[in-house]
Structure formats: structure tokens, C-alpha cells
Amino acid sequence: MFQPDLLRGQHILITGGGTGLGRAMALRFAGLGARIFLAGRREEPLRETAEEIQKRAGQAAWATGDVRDFAAVEKIIEAAWRHAPLTALVNNAAGNFVCPTERLSPNAFASVVGIVLNGSFHCTLACGRRWIEAKQPASVLNILATYVWTGSGFVVPSACAKAGVLALTRSLAVEWARHRVRLNAIAPGPFPTEGAWSRIIPSPEYEEAHRKRHPMQRFGRHGELTNLAAFLLAPQTEYINGDCVTIDGAQWLRQGGEFNDLLEVPASVWDQLQQARKPKP
């Protein structure tokens, strides 16, 4: 189904591209012929992912920066364009953790919204301005969550931010279609990733209960999401614009808000999670 050169000629920027689903997409897109540019705040995972792509005879480069800062985003985009004009952007950078909202600080809320909503807007605006000026067709793919439709307790900052990115996706799909710049989104259900998974799954017992409640009795595999992402970025799907595709094995249809069942978690577990999030001296 996926031709080996499906994405040849594309230059794709992936934010949060050094780890988790961002890394998985980078490797998959490179394997289909795309040139990859990775962005994130930490140098080490970006460099390691780029080197892994290069070992597989792919093309990859990277730059560090904080997507919450538009000036930093502009520097990332300029660095990418020095290699080749970008043809696609994947807004994958995210921040999330589970927390009762009454325990949430305004700074924590602002941090998640800054990364997810402001960061997606900053990258989309910086790329979109260049594409429109150059009259260059392009694609934006936003990585959301299934609770953009339902909301979800205990992840209020993420739910608010990702719902905003869905509105951004649909709004700009209409506004920029005349420029042949299309925007789509993916709403994944649970896909285990190193690091992020530990911030949203409070215990092994909760993880097992979460899995058992899933209609398919399992979590998503990275290859399943990367195949969907490649499909949406492929030139053969140009007429798909303004859509959000769910990939969760029907979980949200059964469960609604993905983390609402954290109502069962005792206060002592929240205390442990709060201590774990504090920076180490």
C-alpha cells in the first residue's frame, strides 16, 4: 500500500521529533523517501534520531528551540529552509500530565497551553507565511487526542489546548485551501511512549485496568499511527482537507473522556505523582 518513494521530494518538519511518536513518524517518513527536519528543546534525542535516519541512508537535520517562543520558531524554520524549502509540518510537540484541576497551578496550565496551542500556531504561521508567499503547496498535520470532542477530567490544560488546535485545523483548512495549503489532524487514543506514558498513567494497576476497558483489549502500536500520518501527507490524498481522523480502536466511543475514570484514584497517588513532577535539586 505504501510505495517506497511515497514521500520522495518532501521536506517535513516534525516538532517534538526526537522521542515517542515524533521519532516514530520521523523514521517512517524517512523510510518513504522524505527529508526530515526535527525540532525540540533537547539536543540529545534530536541528534540521535537524525543519526538513526542517516544510518538508514535517509536525510535528516535538527535544531533546538522552544515552540512557545515565536522568535525561536522563526530560527528553527530558517534553519530548516537552509537545507530545502519545507513541504510539510507535523505539530507533534506536546506537554501533558494527569492532575486534579483544583491542584493545578496557573503556570502549569499556561505551560501546556503554550506548548500545544501556541506552539502549533507559531509553527503553522511561520511556515504558512512562507508557503503562501512562495505559492508553494504544502500540508500541516496536527497530533491531537480523542478528548478534543468530549473533554476529559484530570487533563484539563491538554483538553483545552488540543480542542483549540482542532479549531485551528478546521479554520485554516478553509482559509488556506485557495493557497493549496491543507491542514488535517490525527486524534490518537492510548499509544504508549517512553516518558510521556509515565506522566499520564499513574500506576501499573491503572494501566492494566485501562487496557481491559479498551474495546480491543490493547493499546495502539506506533506503526499504526505512522502509517496513517504518511497517508495523510501523501500527494495522493490532496483532497482530504480539514479532517480529523481518529485512531483509537473505538475507545472514545465506549469511554468518552479518556481519563475520567481517574476519579477512582486515591489522594495518596496524586500526592506521589505531584512529588515526582517536582524538579530534582
For 265, other C-beta atoms within 10 Å of its C-beta total 18
Q: Is 70 exceeded by the pLDDT of residue 249?
A: yes
Cα separation, 127 vs 257, in Å, equals 33
- pLDDT score at 92: 97
- pLDDT score at 261: 67
Residue 147 falls in the annotated catalytic set = yes
Confidence of residue 206 (pLDDT cuts 50, 70, 90): confident
Give the angle subtended at the CA of 164 by the CAs of 126 and 132, to the nearest 5°.
25
- pLDDT score at 195: 64
Give the angle subtended at the CA of 271 by the CAs of 270 and 273, to the nearest 5°.
65
Q: What mean pLDDT is predicted for residues 160-174? A: 98
Burial category of 33 from C-beta neighbours within 10 Å (exposed 0-12, middle 13-18, buried 19 and up): middle
State the DSSP code for 37: E
- pLDDT score at 268: 82
Burial category of 207 from C-beta neighbours within 10 Å (exposed 0-12, middle 13-18, buried 19 and up): middle
Average pLDDT, the chain: 92
Cα separation, 135 vs 84, in Å, equals 15
Cα separation, 60 vs 49, in Å, equals 8
Q: What mean pLDDT is predicted for residues 239-253? A: 95
Q: Which domains does the chain have, with CATH numbers?
A: 11-276 (3.40.50.720)
Q: What mean pLDDT is predicted for residues 98-121? A: 96
pLDDT in tens, 43-93: 999 999 999 999 999 999 999 999 999 999 999 999 999 999 999 999 999
Out of 22-26, 33-37, 62-66, 248-252, pick the least confident.
Answer: 248-252
Cα separation, 17 vs 42, in Å, equals 10
- pLDDT score at 117: 98
The DSSP code sequence of 7-22 is TTT-EEEEETTTSHHH
Which is higher by pLDDT, 205 or 135?
135
Find where cell 477530567 sits: 153
Where are the extended beta strands (E) located within 189-259?
A: 244-247
State percent of the chain over pLDDT 90: 76
- pLDDT score at 229: 98
- pLDDT score at 277: 73
Catalytic residue among 62, 121, 147, 259: 147
